[in-house]
Structure 1
């Protein structure tokens, strides 16, 4: 059982990295101006990582209630799903959403 719990934590970290990749992909594809592509492609993931580190990470500098943390995480993951849908990757978007749901349910059950 401990190995499954560890795998769920590893999945959570992988999903967090996938958020940054999805938002970066969106940023590079949404704009037509090359400078704007770079700003969005690098800036949006960077701002998301700073937000995650400040509010949602296990060692966050700002303490938030557990229920609010879960809702904010789902919003960030939802934005990644929307970003993947926007760049016409629906299979990847729904696979990602399914993994987020599985990970969230298991984290709740195992109090992770």
Structure 2
């Protein structure tokens, strides 16, 4: 699925530090924990808590955030619709990676079992 250049640029310029509190609030509102959120982020990106905090403190953009990530080799197994787009059909790699994270957080918030979220 094609996303517009404007849409892709908006995602690239968003700071992870501005999105992180929203992700955390979303999962905590549904009874999940910060540790579970970090486990999902670590699985997708390879970041440990220290690196994650560093990126938040630096106000890293999504572009920087995902450029520094070591994307999980099983990330391609993340499928489904998020924000009106099928994640497996998104052509722009950065937009797709951002939507992978959104999809995993949605699954966590919906109470899906961790082994299923982590494609285990």
TM more than 0.5? no
TM-score, structure 1 normalization: 0.36
TM-score, structure 2 normalization: 0.35
Structure with greater helix share of residues: 1
Relative contact order (alpha carbons < 8 A, sep ≥ 6): 1 or 2 greater?
Answer: 2
Query: Which of the pair has more CA radius of gyration?
Result: 1
